[in-house]
Each structure stands twice: as structure tokens, then as C-alpha cells.
Amino acid sequence: MNYRHAYHAGNHADVLKHAVLARVVHYLAQKDKAFAVLDAHAGLGVYDLQAIEAAKTGEWQGGIGLMQAPFAAGVEEVLVPYRRALGRLNPDGGMRFYPGSPEIILGELRAGDRLLANELHTQDFETLKLNYAGEKRLLALLSDAGQAVKAQLPFRERRGLVLIDPPYEGRDETQLVARMLAQGAERFPTGLFIIWYPVTTEEFVIQFTGAIKALGIGNISRAELRVKNTHAASGLSGSGLLILNPPFNLHGELEILLPALAGRLGVENLGRSQLSWLTPPKG
């Protein structure tokens, strides 16, 4: 495992993922009943954008670094839970610390909700545990994401979310993610699942989305944000989210959010977004 999220925290892909994640957890917290979240690839929880790793790539400058100025009111409304997480870590303004997915999720949990934060990298797991020592709602798990999905689902609350956010280092990652979703959805058919994927080449995106579609699971929304042209030499030109069982209002909100992010984060006016159903919605 070579991937360390500290080099990439706050980049354009994190902005998309975390803005949507915050919104989805916010929706879950609107109903009285308790829920749980399994963050299957949790990372550290908090990242210092002035640390050597972040400074080395400077990726955050093309992501969260461009988000300071407010958007139109409708977009800002969708961004409220995300901005709340950013503000909590940077109470004096500015953008020194960036929230990872556990921090984003915790920000929306109530006293009776739970976060299972799973991380396989031993050192990152220790940092995660340390960052949230004393946080009773968070249970840190050191295991493979696929094992965590099998062991933790269905949640005893019968309500909740699973975030699948692997580094896509290995050639078999598509198959691993497809299997995780199939096993997760079988154990917890009413659960919400968010899967992040990188846009590196068109071939990868077609192959990846095709593999998920082939599972035959309905009600998967697809949201994609590209910040530059996609070709083999362009690196990470964008990213996407597949959302199984999205909250009712989310699609409408993404119609507002995605073009705004494409306009703001796109390099030389090359930003584009796409919103569709990978598999047909319910009803």
C-alpha cells in the first residue's frame, strides 16, 4: 500500500466527494431514528495543508484553495454542511486544516449515531485513532475494507451509509469495489452507498461504470466532475461518485452544485460535470 491521502487532501476530487458526503449525512440526520456510517477507507480524518506532503503536490490549491469566495445562494445552501466542517477546523478563517471523510461525517452525527472508521494502513489507523481519542461515536477499525463491509453490515440501526473510497492502486480494484458493493447491497439493500472513482482515462471510466452497472442493482445515481481534458497523460482529470439509494432531494441539489464546481475548479474553462442515473431510479 503506497497511497497516502495526505498528498492529495483537499484536491478537486475531495471537494466533490466531501461536499456530497456532508450533504448525504446531513439528510440522514433529519429523521429521528439513529443511523450508522461505515467509512470503509477512512484515512486520517484531518490533514494539515501546511505539512510537507500537501505542500509537495500543492493539489489542494486547485481544489479547496479555490473555494473561499462564496457561490450563488442556491449553491451555498447545498454546501452548508461541508462549509460547517471546514469552519470547525479553521475557526479563525483561512484554510490550514482540511477535513477528511471521518471528520465530515462526525460533524453531522447526533449523540446516538455511530461512525465505524475503517483503515488498513497501520500508521494511518494509529493517527486516526489518536485524532479521535475520546470521541465516543467513532469506532476505529483496522481491517480490509471488504472484510469490514461483510462484518459490519447490516447495521443494527437498519439505517445508514457506506463510503467506499479506495486508492485504485491495484489493477483489480474495480473488481474489488464491485464485489464490495454487491456483498454490501445484498446484506443491506436499503442502505445508502457512495463509491468514489477516479477519472484518469475514458477507458477506465467506461470499464469501471460498466462493471458496477453489470451487477444489476437499481437506483444508482452518477455524478462526475472533470477539471481538464481527459487523456492518458493528464493524470487525475476528474472524479465521480456512484450513489446507491440517494436521498430523495439529492439529485436536484447536484444539478445545482455540479456545474458550479465545474465552473470554479475547471482549469482554463475546461471544467465539465455530468449527472445521470447509472441504473434506473426507484419509482
Q: So which residues are the catalytic ones?
A: 165
* Cα–Cα distance measured from residue 126 to residue 212, given in angstroms and rounded to the nearest whole number: 32
* Residues from 233 through 262 that contact ligand SAM (CB under 6 A): none
Cα–Cα separations (whole angstroms), residue 180 to 8, 115, 177, 186, 191: 24, 18, 5, 10, 13
Contacting residue, 28, 38, 79, 145, with ligand SAM by CB under 6 A = 145
Radius of gyration of the chain (CA): 17
* Cβ-based nearer residue to ligand SAM, 137 or 144: 144
Instruction: Report CA dihedral (167, 231, 49, 85) to the nearest 10 degrees.
Output: -70
Site string for ligand SAM, 147-166 (x = CB under 6 A): ------------------xx
Q: What are phi and psi of 231, to 5 degrees?
A: -155, 170
**Which single residue brings its beta carbon nearest to ligand SAM?**
100
Q: Which of 144, 179, 218, 264 binds ligand SAM (CB under 6 A)?
A: 144
| DSSP-derived 3-state class of residue 71 | coil
Dist CA 102 CA 140 (whole Å): 10
Residue among 146, 167, 191 nearest 28 (CA): 191
Considering the rule CB under 6 A, would residue 46 count as an interface residue with ligand SAM? no
C-alpha cell at 230: 481527459
Q: Choose between 27 and 98: whose C-beta lies nearer to ligand SAM.
A: 98
Sign of CA pseudo-dihedral 54, 71, 87, 195: negative
Q: Which stretch binds ligand SAM (CB under 6 A): 53-61, 65-73, 118-126, 179-187?
A: 118-126
Q: Please, which residue, 1 or 206, has the CB nearer to ligand SAM?
A: 1
Helix, coil or strand: residue 271:
coil
**Smallest separation (angstroms) from ligand SAM to the CB of 265:** 17
Closer residue to ligand SAM, CB minimum distance, 4 or 111: 4
Q: Does 42 bind ligand SAM (CB under 6 A)?
A: yes
Could you list the residues that contact ligand SAM (CB under 6 A)? Answer: 1, 3, 5, 17, 41-43, 100-101, 118-121, 124, 144-145, 165-167
